[in-house]
Amino acid sequence: QKEVEQDPGPLSVPEGAIVSLNCTYSNSAFQYFMWYRQYSRKGPELLMYTYSSGNKEDGRFTAQVDKSSKYISLFIRDSQPSDSATYLCAMTIYTGNQFYFGTGTSLTVIP
């Protein structure tokens, strides 16, 4: 079983839609959770970072962590064509240690 599972998509939505991206994990020791956005042929860019259960909001993005279910989500409100990218979830026991990544979900927002 992989440490982190993520649906690879691809996911295609109309502009303005609410997007939900999800990851599940198996290691209950994970404490830090991240979402990265990666455009084609670029390095991943950190979008959201949290180390507690619950919701964290930043503009149109909301990260949700449910440690009891070992499940994290990223919600994108009012999606824009510029949101078209691959989204990677990642997690670790503590920073400085090994990070574990999902395989990424490819998102296309259609104008």
Closest to 76 (Cα-Cα) out of 65, 90, 62, 56: 62
Assess 36 for contact with other proteins (CB under 8 A).
yes
Handedness of CA 17, 39, 61, 68 (dihedral sign): positive
Dist CA 61 CA 39 (whole Å): 17
Assess 98 for contact with other proteins (CB under 8 A).
yes
Size of the site for other proteins (CB under 8 A): 24
Nearer to other proteins, 69 or 95 (CB): 95
Among the listed residues 27, 46, 81, 110, the single contact to other proteins using CB under 8 A: 46
Assess 44 for contact with other proteins (CB under 8 A).
yes
Nearer to other proteins, 3 or 66 (CB): 3
8 Å CB contact between 69 and 22: no
Contacts of 68 (CB under 8 A, 6+ apart): 53
> Could you list the residues that contact other proteins (CB under 8 A)?
8, 32, 34, 36, 41-46, 49, 88, 90, 92, 94-99, 101-104
